[in-house]
Chains A and B, each alone.
Chain A
Amino acid sequence: MRRGSLAALALGLLALAAPAVAEERLAGLGSFEFQAGPYQPMIDSEFPDATPPVRPWKDTFGTSRRWMFKLHGAKALVRGYGTLELGGGIGYLSATGHGRFADTTVSLEKTGFRLVPLSLDLTYRVDPVWERLGIPLVPFARVTLIRDLWWVTGAGGKASKSGATDGWTWGGGLALVLDFIDPSLARELDRDSGIKHTMLVVEVAQTTVRDFESASTKTPKSWDLSNDGPMLTFGFLFAF
């Protein structure tokens, strides 16, 4: 709860800070990004002391991480010393495993987990590193509110279960501006399509997705869809 309040507060402060730098000229339209990163929820962490061990996620879907794919769009709000963007995204993750019989042996029946994360975020990009210093690297920081929509499909066509879990993330990363490889091609791309910059992006984020319940919550009602560790995401970004 406390962490959730802090997240909302941080997001609000970032938004309210916008007018302070709004006196600078407005930037371009914004950006569009394809993202992908390995993900594994912390659902099994709900049963730390169970005997025998209870690991529904790992027993069903295995220990390897699943790739989550996202589309992210952002609108540039202001541009001063850097760019502040308000963005939103939608993603998809699918995991399929095998159900188990009552004696815990593995069956051939399939069971699945589908996740569609919706996000609303504020991103601050330090563009001057590239624009003024000429170094093709753009650091950025991002705070995100998340709603994870999820569906569980039962073995053998049994009725599925669905729900939504809220959370937030904070993190940052580095974008490599690809324009420096061929500036003339970059200018041609700008003229033809309006894409001003293309970037390869690496982001590291700390995710907390458990309906804003903290470890001290007395009777938690949500499972933990936070990533098992900092989430590493790779992206390809087009800035307009």
Chain B
Amino acid sequence: MIRRLALIVALLSPVSALAQAAGTVVLTPSAFGPSDCTSTTTSVNLSWTSSGTFLAGDTFSVYVAMSQNCPASATPTPTGTLLATGLVAASASGTYPVTGTLTRKDFLDKAGVVACGASTIHVCVQHWTGSGTGLSVKGTATGSADLVVSPASIPVNVTVAPGESALFVSWADGTDSAVPAVSYNVTAVSSTPPETHTANFNGRTNQRLSGLTNGVTYAVTVTSVSAGGIESQPSVGVVTGTPQAVNGFWEQYTAGEHREQGGCSGGQAGLISLLGVALALRGLRRRS
């Protein structure tokens, strides 16, 4: 068994080496929207793990551009704007800015975004080693994020089914936009009593909207949200649903005359169980 494990590890080793060949930069946020073109919030963060092996004294340089060109050599220099250089490395991983004043607007401007148009922003990190004229690039890391300025498609084919104080809502992505939706807003509105319930869901196009009132009729609409945070127009048409009480297994079992009441059994049954255990333990003691 040990020999087999060693063989598996040996076979996987080249795969691990290949996986380390390309470093990755993670951008936060992972996508930008139109509001970011004018945002003065300082909430852009870059974090990376270089493909190079760390040695004390290593440094990082960070570039941002509208296209990716991140050479693993000192020349030519990467495409784009140099955001920072000489960042002292404590390991093969790093972040920028740990603290700083990099606003989202600054970041997009330095990347070269024009008129807040749809684009992809690329980041290149070079991992430097050595000193003086002996400086060399030992590794790189790359990453990107989209600037999304269009809404995703308007949801279609909305259907509603009742649940216990809830509605099960399903829909399909429309075809009026090629921009993918990253989340959906489901809204249920009732007139009597006047209530509005909205929930944001990621991923699946069928969800359970909870917190509603049994017996109240709700009109349901769905909107999609693109990566840039842009919400689509609501789904077309009025689809209504009315939550109803639902009997689970226990309610169905107890609907008529029944035996079980829940809780732990006791009395003679419990005593008999204990007697069995006691006899078994007595046998053990006698043997030893």
Contact = CB atoms under 8 A, between A and B. Distances in A.
Nearest to A110: B248
Interface string B242-274: 001111111111011011111111001110110
Interface stretch (A29-37, A100-108, A174-182, A230-238): A100-108
Contact of B282 (A16, A162, A164): A16
Interface in A151-190: 152-158, 160-166, 189
A12 interface: yes
A153 B163 contact: no
B260 A221 contact: yes
Contacts of B163: 107-109, 156
Interface in A121-152: 122, 145, 147, 152
A204 interface: no
B7 interface: no
A156 B164 contact: yes
Nearest to B214: A156
B277 A120 contact: yes
A22 B260 contact: no
B279 A113 contact: no
A111 B258 CA distance: 19
Interface string A44-58: 001100100010110
Nearest to B270: A166
Q: Most chain-A Cβ atoms within 10 A of its Cβ — which of B268, B276, B286?
A: B276
Given A4-B269, A102-B245, A220 B283 contact: no
Contact of B248 (A22, A152, A164): A152
Contact of A46 (B168, B248, B259, B283): B259
Interface residues of B, number: 47
Contacts of B279: 8, 11-12, 15-16
Nearest to A213: B269
A15 B283 contact: yes
B98 interface: no
Given A157-B164, A211-B265, A77 B246 contact: no
Contacts of B283: 12, 14-19, 77
B263 to A, nearest CB: 5
Contact of B276 (A99, A145, A162, A223): A145
A54 B256 contact: yes
A16 B286 contact: yes
B265 A165 contact: yes
A22 B2 CA distance: 38
B246 A101 contact: yes
A211 B281 CA distance: 22
B275 interface: yes
A157 B210 contact: yes
A145 B252 CA distance: 29
A92 interface: no
A135 B252 CA distance: 52
Nearest to B170: A108
A22 B287 contact: yes
Contact of A43 (B246, B253, B264, B282): B253
A101 B244 contact: yes
A189 B2 CA distance: 11
The 4 closest A-B pairs by CB, nearest first: A156-B164, A15-B283, A12-B279, A111-B248
13 contacts: A8-B279, A19-B286, A47-B256, A100-B246, A101-B162, A107-B244, A152-B250, A156-B165, A158-B248, A165-B265, A166-B270, A166-B272, A222-B259
Given A46-B259, A152-B248, A156-B163, 20 more contacts: A7-B272, A7-B276, A12-B275, A15-B281, A15-B283, A50-B256, A60-B248, A77-B283, A99-B246, A100-B252, A109-B163, A109-B246, A109-B248, A120-B277, A156-B248, A157-B164, A164-B264, A166-B270, A213-B269, A223-B260
